[in-house]
Copies of this chain bind each other. A is one copy, B any other.
Amino acid sequence: MKIAVDAMGGDFAPREIVLGAILAAERHQTQIVLVGDEPSIKKILDEKKANDLPIEIKHATEVISMDEHPADAVRVKKDASVVVATNLVKSGECDAVISAGSTGAAVAAAIFNLKRIKGIDRPAIATPMPTPKGVTLMLDSGANVDSKPEHLLQSGIMGSLYAEHVLKKKNPGVGLLNIGEEETKGNEQTKEAYALLKGANINFIGNAEGRDVPKGNFDVVVCDGFVGNVVLKFAEGMAKTIFHLIKDAIKEGGLLGKLGAALLTPTLKKLAKRLDVAEYGGAPLLGIDGYVIICHGSSNAKSISSAIRAAKAYVESDVINHIKNALAKDKPLESGI
């Protein structure tokens, strides 16, 4: 097993990415190829005396930044770190690729170089959301907008198989993110998607409302990438806001409040860790014929290390073949768009 990591992608690249690779190599005995500017990467490895670890460097001269048009940049910059890393999976040198850089660029590089699975019109980012009942997989959380109902059906099938084979959930319950429980509720897209999901060979429970996501009432929640992305970023902002408010409230709470806070700190820290997306190791880009993991732009070493661990489990699950088999059975999936 060998994992390609885009060393130049992310707000804290290359430093945090390289440190994350070191962590993962030490902890999870994974072979890693760091792709990007060799001198910069080597400097960090030297500094950390990490030259004995199973980490290789693959030099790449270009970087795609957050403000470039993803598809155009991937076409033009053949030697961009995310493109070179993705091509290591295409050539079979690596088993999976991880990037914390521009999500659009990672998606475009995957579509162009690894191609979609036959029967899948659009890939979907499947984000694991922490809940009190374990993880809820929300997809699509930002790969595509203006989805057709068929795309939501495809996401439902892929999400169900990922939950079963990677998250090890038995007969995972799939919900459609909607604005009411009843089948008749929703917009044009979700009303049609409901009918399609109902007919699919998955455990489709029905509509999930916004509140069902944080409560963990479904194993898999299917939605358009616009809605999923808004919800994901809202969750991130809200978690941060609540913890800040708690801190502020404690400051204003006087001496007893401060004493209480001091006593409660280990408990709150444990809770914050449980809600920390960095613990959950990135989001798989489902629907691509290759193992691709998208990480948060603000990924630190811990997040990258978790993502490398998650990538390993993802590859071992062989879920792409499970998706291919399921689609071969469920013929009428392609919308032809």
Contact = CB atoms under 8 A, between A and B. Distances in A.
A105 interface: no
Contacts of A177: 230
Interface residues of A, number: 63
A19 to B, nearest CB: 25
A229 B185 CA distance: 12
A226 to B, nearest CB: 5
Interface in A206-258: 209-215, 223, 225-227, 229-242, 244-246, 248-250, 252-253, 256-257
A211 B227 contact: no
A335 interface: no
A330 interface: no
Interface of A: 67, 131-132, 142, 145-146, 177-179, 182, 186-188, 190, 209-215, 223, 225-227, 229-242, 244-246, 248-250, 252-253, 256-257, 259-268, 270-271, 274-275
Given A179-B145, A249-B270, A260-B259, A234 B237 contact: no
Contact of A230 (B132, B179, B225): B179
Given A145-B187, A260-B262, A230 B231 contact: yes
Most interface-central of A245, A262, A263 (chain B CB within 10 A): A263
B233 A235 contact: no
Given A132-B245, A252-B267, A229 B210 contact: yes
Contacts of A230: 177-179, 209-210, 223, 227, 230-231
Given A179-B230, A238-B239, A250-B267, 8 more contacts: A190-B226, A211-B236, A215-B237, A223-B230, A246-B268, A249-B270, A259-B260, A260-B267
25 contacts: A146-B187, A177-B230, A187-B226, A190-B226, A210-B233, A210-B234, A210-B235, A212-B237, A214-B237, A214-B238, A215-B237, A215-B241, A226-B227, A227-B227, A234-B234, A242-B242, A242-B275, A246-B268, A249-B270, A253-B264, A257-B264, A257-B266, A260-B262, A260-B263, A260-B267
Given A229-B210, A230-B227, A245 B274 contact: yes
Contacts of A270: 249
Q: Interface SS of chain A: helix, strand, loop or mixed? A: helix
A241 B131 contact: yes
Contacts of A250: 264, 267
Contacts of A223: 230
A194 to B, nearest CB: 14
A132 B215 contact: no
A191 to B, nearest CB: 10
Most interface-central of A240, A257, A270 (chain B CB within 10 A): A257
A266 B256 CA distance: 10
Most interface-central of A215, A227, A232 (chain B CB within 10 A): A227
A194 B264 CA distance: 45
A132 B210 contact: no
A67 B238 CA distance: 31
